[in-house]
Amino acid sequence: MQRPALALHERLGRVNDAARIALRDTRAAIDVQEIGIVQSIGHGIARVSGLPGIRAEELIRFPGGVVGMVFDIEPHDVGVVLFGAQENLSAGAEARRSRSVLDVPVGPELLGRVVNPLGIPLDGGGPVPARARLPVEREAPAIVRREPVRVPLQTGIKVIDALIPIGRGQRQLILGDRQTGKTAIAVDAILNQAGQNVLCIYCAVGQQSTATAHVIKELTACGALEYSIVVVAEGDDPPGLQFIAPYAATSMAEYFVEQGRDVLVVYDDLTRHAVAYRELSLLLRRPPGREAFPGDIFYIHSRLLERATHYRADANGGSLTALPIVQTEAQNIAGYIPTNLISITDGQIYLSPDLFQKGILPAVDVGKSVSRVGGKTQLPAYRAVVASLRLAYTQFEELEAFARFGTRLDDAARESIERGRRVREVLKQLRGRRVSVPEQIAVMLAVTEGLFDRVPVDEVDRAEGFVRDAAMAAAPELSRRILAGDGLRTEDCAALVRAMHASLVQKDWHGYT
């Protein structure tokens, strides 16, 4: 009876030895968590205490899956901007540190999707299977990683491509009063990138649901959603979501830029973005400044738009082009937010309500619009045709306004006015009727050479169609050379003028010869 007891004692001894060896090589891991307490809840913000190690812009998690970002750090509590519904939050709720910053899903899986600034799908297409994430707040690329903007970004809109050109990597502001066609120009620019190897992101900030749905419907109908991402922060979303929306959209774009791709981002619009930031700042009791905006309102937009650039070839060579939209009031382009953005961007496209009411669409005021970079990116063929057109058109507008007073004009002034009216008709363009680069150059050549001078003003649009068809049929090889960046030779211009003149002679507009 002693042998089984002895064997059991030996087995227990071996087990104890193995346990001692295992415990000797084991180190206890201490999981330290900081859990704060919600002191108060406001409209889109929360005050939280009990987080001594918290860091700026750190992500905070609340019960019910609500997240927020640290905005203010005070001696006794922190101000947190909420990104979700706050109905179920109340004072006394727990707030846990995440020890990470806010990030969003990025990658090709987002193409064709409609998401909110957190990357949550809004199109009913299921979760986004993104394999990478990037922080919402990222530093702008260093100067040594940038290179000059040289490649054009064609919009298909004649008045922009010819007179206010945009380059890939440029920041071009679109501003004007409400209902003057700002979003229409931006959407047309997105639609024109089909087949141009340019990805697009449309970021709606504080827009009405119906307006955003209309844009999404148009992108889908034209097949542009295949190469686009739509980021939506609606007007009834928390102000925190509206605030981070442009930064999230830019991070999604930067993923592709770092892969060497060209990306166009439309921010629609930064006026509402500034208003959302002002709301958050006032709720957090930050000191108000001009028009109640906080003192760093310039910085929030500059740090966003500085991320748009053209990268050097040794930095993958991609580009991020920004088209921010801002709304003016009563044609006041000297307002606080518009002037801030004008000073940050590389030019502006101003849409005039007066032109809009007269039916001159797109309602681009050429005199108040400028591109500080685009001239260097414009194709050489453009420069050969429209070098003096902008100045001549601006002078025509001044002369036409002067002639309204009944002043007697000489023959040269009357001819200038008649030519200017036809230039204005040529620059008109219906929504959705985008024009290719060779056709634009042919039309601009025709109007600068005076081929439309004897065409009645109300028939210029029809004459333009004949001119475009004749030019494309007469010189098909020229189109390829223009797109390749070749200049327009004298013999090329002469051949185009002869072909276009012959097409107009055949129509015989009131004795046109």
The residues assigned a catalytic role are 372
Query: H or E segment at 227?
Result: none
Could you write out the three-class secondary structure of 284-322? CCCCECHHHCECCHHHHHHHHHCCCCEECHHHCCCEEEE
Map tokens 């001159």 to a residue.
Answer: 360
Question: Which of these, 239, 212, 252, lies nearest to 84 by C-alpha position?
Answer: 239
For residue 477, how many other CB atoms are within 10 A of its CB? Answer: 8
CA distance linking residue 5 with residue 113, whole number of Å: 72
Map tokens 């005070």 to a residue.
Answer: 74
CA distance linking residue 191 with residue 430, whole number of Å: 14
Fill in the amino acid letter for 288.
P
For residue 28, how many other CB atoms are within 10 A of its CB? Answer: 4
The answer to whether the beta carbons of residues 168 and 262 sit under 8 Å apart is yes
Question: Which of these, 371, 362, 434, lies nearest to 184 by C-alpha position?
Answer: 362
The token pair at 409 is 């004009």
Question: Which of these, 330, 328, 329, lies nearest to 348 by C-alpha position?
Answer: 328
Question: Which of these, 149, 154, 150, 160, lies nearest to 444 by C-alpha position?
Answer: 160
CA torsion through residues 61, 67, 72, 77, sign: negative
Could you write out the three-class secondary structure of 425-440? HHHCCCCCCCCCHHHH
- The conformation of residue 238, written as its DSSP 8-state character, comes to -
Backbone angles phi, psi at 134, to 5 degrees: -130, 150
Fill in the amino acid letter for 356.
F
Question: Which of these, 182, 112, 166, 120, lies nearest to 350 by C-alpha position?
Answer: 182
Question: Which of these, 403, 345, 362, lies nearest to 149 by C-alpha position?
Answer: 345
Length of the chain: 513
The answer to whether the beta carbons of residues 272 and 211 sit under 8 Å apart is no
Fill in the amino acid letter for 489.
R
The token pair at 291 is 């028009």
Question: Which of these, 99, 124, 149, 138, lies nearest to 252 by C-alpha position?
Answer: 138
Residues contacting residue 124 through CB under 8 Å, at least 6 positions apart: none
